[in-house]
Amino acid sequence: MKHIVVLTGAGMSAESGLKTFRDADGLWEGHDVMEVATPKGFAANPELVLEFYNQRRRQLFEVTPNSAHFGLAELEKNYKVTIVTQNVDDLHERAGSKNVIHLHGELLKARNIVDEFSVIDCKTDIKLGDTCPKGHQLRPHIVWFGEAVPMIDTAVDVCMTADILLIIGTSMQVYPAASLMHYVPEHTPTFFIDPKPAIESKHNLTVIAETATVGMKRFIESLD
C-alpha cells in the first residue's frame, strides 16, 4: 500500500470558515504576533493571550470539516495516509483521518507553564488562575514563536517514507515546517494545491492552482 504524506496549512481549513490567523498586514486577529503568540507576550499579558485562544477555541465549535478534509480521510481506504499539519484545529480528525501529526499544537488541548509534556484535553476556556493538579497555571497547547517544535523530528521521519507528497493550503514559507518537503525521497511525485502558488510545475512537481476543496478533487482524479 503506497504511503501518501500530506502537509496542510491554514488554506486547508479556510473553506470551513476558520480564518487564517495572520492577516495581510501581519496582524493576528488585530493583534501583533508578538503579543499573542510568544512566551514573552504571555508573560507580559497572560489574560490577553488566554482570551485570544479562548476565542479561537470557541470558533472551532462553530465550524465543520469541508470536502477536502473528508477527501483525505477517504484516501485511507486505498492508501496509507499520514497528515502533517500546521493547523491547530481538529478538523482532520473530525473528518475521519486516523494519522495526524500537529506541528504547532492543538487548540483542544492545554498544558501547564512548567512542563511542555503535561498535555491534557481542553474544550473550555482557560482563565488566569486555572491550574493543573500541581498548582501550575494552564496555557494553550500551542507552539509559540521562539519555542521548539517537538513533533518536527517525527514529521521528518514520516516524510522520508513518502511514496507521494501532497501539500495543501500552505505557502511552505514558515520554518521548520517548510523544510519538510526536502526530506521526501528523490523523485517522489509531489502535488502542491494552493490558489495562489508561489512555485511552478516542474519535474515530479504538479501545481494545482485551486482552493483545497477543488484541488483535492483534481488530485483524487489524478490517482485513478
Q: Give the catalytic positions in this structure.
A: 104
**Neighbouring C-beta atoms of residue 83, cutoff 10 Å:** 26
C-alpha–C-alpha distance, residues 210 and 218, integer Å: 9
Judge whether 72 and 81 are in contact, CB under 8 Å.
Answer: yes
C-alpha–C-alpha distance, residues 209 and 51, integer Å: 36
Residues in the chain: 224
C-alpha–C-alpha distance, residues 92 and 73, integer Å: 8
C-alpha–C-alpha distance, residues 15 and 168, integer Å: 12
Half-sphere exposure of 33 (CA within 13 A, CB side): 12
Looking at this protein, which amino acid is placed at residue 95? A
Residues 6+ apart with CB under 8 A from 162: 3, 4, 5, 184, 185, 188
